[in-house]
């Protein structure tokens, strides 16, 4: 059997006037890949187009001298505009649904991208992100292009997708609110520029979805048409939301997944979400209120973190104890190590954003911006645990709830939102008349 490669380009099926926006356009983007005797290389799927940030009056922001100031997150760029991604087939069956997709990318991208890759222009061309706040502000002053891959589990598993057996693909991107994706001043808590005139907003235009397809010869295509029964295993992400309001926080979740590979969590103050004055994509430690400024910027200690399965400590049979490091001391190595190892194999990691600059920063107020070649001292703080990097078969959590206990100096009047992402295996069973998804 021989194969050839084709690049397929698809326009949105709900193109309308060609502009997608939470405020001034369609807040949902749909792409339909028809059923055909071809294989889709999932990691090649990209959504490309143009993004433009505008002030409430329709003018472009001025992010250089600090007037009319509005921009996207510097580390996730256009990805911060995507709130939810759904991938299913043309028959209406859903294969993967990732809620809080932008928050997932706020952890995934720093785990897979180094500052040098941002500065070399790679992430600029791909995600519309520059890795540094000052650079991102300049980029967002004009209409700019992007070509971002979708980081969903089903697409990033590495195996080609049989578009005939899956009955094609139906991909839906729901856009995030403007006051979530855009912020004006993270350091001083906002200067109200983005809120003026009804609020700053973003627009996506000239969108296309492209992917590499593998096309078998005539005999191979005939075999694909006759293959109406089978099973396919793939990675998937499930997402959960939790709020920390006490010093001893206990959470129990029914994951209902039989092949759970890893759990990754990030958090930020609840008041930051959907707030023009704050970056909703921030992945911070637990923050309390600064008595001088009244802003929620004071880093609080996390004393202990424990992961459980059915109430028993698992896979670590001990607590991860932490002490807030001094500004010139070393970071919490054990906590960072487990989070880095959650979605990636730590012994193979060679490019990520975590550094002493991002890990030791306590408070950005009054901090001089680092040199152009250095990380911004904005945290990329995660919590996570890996269950299986050896076989990738995972651990059974059906009927056995996942839990975590976080003991800290958290304050009741400054709640922290926690976004929890579970990586697990799903199985699709195909036959002539139906498609069934199990986990």
Q: pLDDT at position 363, please?
A: 43
C-alpha 374: how far from chain center: 23
Q: pLDDT at position 159, please?
A: 87
Give percent of the chain above pLDDT 70.
93
**CA 75 to CA 131: how far, in whole Å?**
5
Q: pLDDT at position 324, please?
A: 66
Residue 366 pLDDT > 50: no
Q: φ, ψ for residue 18 (rounded to 5)? A: 90, -5
Q: pLDDT at position 343, please?
A: 84
β-pairing verdict for 94-99 and 28-33: unpaired
Q: Is 179 helix (H, G, I), strand (E, B) or coil?
A: helix
**Mean local confidence (pLDDT), 353-378:** 70
Task: Residue 73: name the closest of 98, 45, 102, 95 by CA.
Answer: 102
Helix (H) or strand (E) holding 126: helix 122-127
Residue 60 is given by DSSP the state: P
**CA 154 to CA 237: how far, in whole Å?**
9
pLDDT digits (tens, 9 = 90+) for 138-165: 999 999 999 999 999 999 988 899 999 9
CB atoms within 10 A of CB 373: 9
Sole residue written with tokens 């209406």: 92
Task: Count how many Cα atoms sit within 13 Å of the Cα of residue 342 in the half-sphere of its side chain.
Answer: 26
Q: Six-digit token pair at 73?
A: 């997150």
Task: Residue 34: name the closest of 13, 6, 58 by CA.
Answer: 13
**Mean local confidence (pLDDT), 368-373:** 69
Instruction: Give whole-number Cα distances, 316 to 94, 306, 313, 435, in Å.
Output: 34, 8, 6, 37
Q: 237 has which bridge partners?
A: 423
Helix (H) or strand (E) holding 312: strand 312-313
Q: Which residue has the higher pLDDT, 151 or 195?
A: 151
Task: Count how many Cα atoms sit within 13 Å of the Cα of residue 368 in the half-sphere of its side chain.
Answer: 3
Q: Six-digit token pair at 238?
A: 């499930």
Tell me the whole-structure pTM to 2 decimals: 0.94
Q: φ, ψ for residue 378 (rounded to 5)? A: -105, 130
Q: Is 250 helix (H, G, I), strand (E, B) or coil?
A: strand
Among the ranges given (81-85, 318-322, 410-414), the one the predictor scored with the smallest mean pLDDT: 318-322
Label residue 121 exposed, middle or buried (CB < 10 Å: 0-12, 13-18, 19+): exposed
C-alpha 138: how far from chain center: 23
**CA 150 to CA 130: how far, in whole Å?**
18
Task: Residue 142: name the closest of 62, 249, 259 by CA.
Answer: 62
With cut-offs at 50, 70 and 90, classify the pLDDT of residue 361: low
Residue 347 pLDDT > 70: no
Residue 132 is given by DSSP the state: S
Give the CA-trace dihedral at 244, 356, 281, 401, to 10 degrees.
-40
Q: Is 63 helix (H, G, I), strand (E, B) or coil?
A: coil
Residue 134 is given by DSSP the state: H
**Mean local confidence (pLDDT), 110-125:** 88
Q: 251 has which bridge partners?
A: 404
pLDDT digits (tens, 9 = 90+) for 372-408: 778 888 889 999 999 998 888 899 999 999 999 999 9
**CA 104 to CA 102: how far, in whole Å?**
5
Q: Is 68 helix (H, G, I), strand (E, B) or coil?
A: coil
Q: pLDDT at position 415, please?
A: 96
Q: Which residue has the higher pLDDT, 29 or 369?
A: 29
Mean pLDDT, the chain, whole residue set: 89
Residue 329 pLDDT > 70: no
For each of the domains in the chain, give its residue range(s) and CATH number, in order of start. 3-438 (2.70.9.10)
Residue 195 is given by DSSP the state: T
Contacts 24+ apart (CB under 8 A), 65-68: 66/191, 67/193, 68/193
**CA 130 to CA 396: how far, in whole Å?**
39
Task: Residue 303: name the closest of 277, 285, 289, 315 by CA.
Answer: 285
């Amino acid at each position: 059997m021989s194969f050839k490669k084709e690049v397929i380009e698809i326009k949105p099926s709900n193109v309308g006037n060609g502009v997608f926006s939470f405020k001034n356009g369609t807040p949902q983007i749909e792409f339909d890949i028809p059923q055909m005797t071809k294989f889709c290389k999932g990691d090649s799927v990209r959504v490309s187009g143009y993004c433009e940030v505008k002030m409430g009056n329709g003018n472009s922001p001025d992010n250089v001298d600090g007037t009319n100031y509005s921009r996207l997150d510097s580390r996730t760029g256009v990805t911060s505009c995507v709130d939810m991604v759904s991938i299913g087939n043309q028959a209406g069956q859903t294969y993967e649904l990732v809620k809080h997709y932008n928050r997932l990318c706020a952890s995934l991208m720093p785990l897979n991208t180094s500052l040098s890759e941002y500065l070399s222009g790679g992430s600029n061309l791909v995600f519309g992100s520059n890795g540094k706040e000052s650079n991102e502000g300049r980029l967002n002053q004009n209409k700019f292009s992007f070509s971002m891959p979708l980081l969903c589990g089903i697409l990033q598993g590495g195996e080609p997708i049989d578009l005939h057996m899956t009955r094609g693909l139906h991909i839906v991107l729901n856009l995030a609110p403007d006051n979530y994706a855009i912020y004006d001043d993270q350091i001083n808590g906002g200067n109200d520029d983005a809120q003026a005139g009804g609020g700053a907003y973003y627009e996506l235009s000239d969108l296309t979805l492209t992917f590499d397809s593998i096309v078998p010869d005539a005999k191979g295509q005939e075999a694909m048409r006759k293959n109406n029964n089978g099973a396919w295993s793939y990675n998937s992400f499930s997402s959960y939301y939790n709020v920390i309001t006490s010093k001893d926080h206990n959470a129990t979740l029914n994951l209902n997944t039989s092949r759970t590979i890893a759990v990754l969590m990030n958090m930020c103050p609840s008041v930051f979400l959907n707030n023009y004055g704050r970056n909703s994509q921030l992945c911070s430690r637990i923050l309390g209120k600064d008595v001088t400024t009244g802003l929620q910027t004071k880093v609080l200690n996390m004393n202990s973190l424990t992961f459980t399965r059915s109430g028993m400590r698992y896979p670590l049979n001990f607590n991860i104890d932490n002490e807030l490091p001094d500004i010139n001391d070393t970071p919490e190595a054990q906590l960072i190590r487990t989070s880095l190892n959650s979605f990636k194999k730590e012994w193979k990691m060679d490019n990520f954003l975590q550094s002493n600059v991002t890990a030791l920063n306590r408070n950005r107020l009054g901090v001089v911006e680092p040199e152009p070649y250095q990380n911004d001292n904005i945290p990329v703080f995660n919590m996570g645990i890996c269950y299986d990097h050896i076989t990738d078969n995972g651990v059974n959590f059906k009927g056995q709830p996942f839990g975590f206990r976080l003991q800290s100096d958290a304050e009741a009047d400054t709640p922290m939102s926690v976004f929890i992402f579970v990586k697990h295996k799903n199985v699709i069973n195909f036959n002539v008349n139906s498609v069934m998804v199990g986990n």
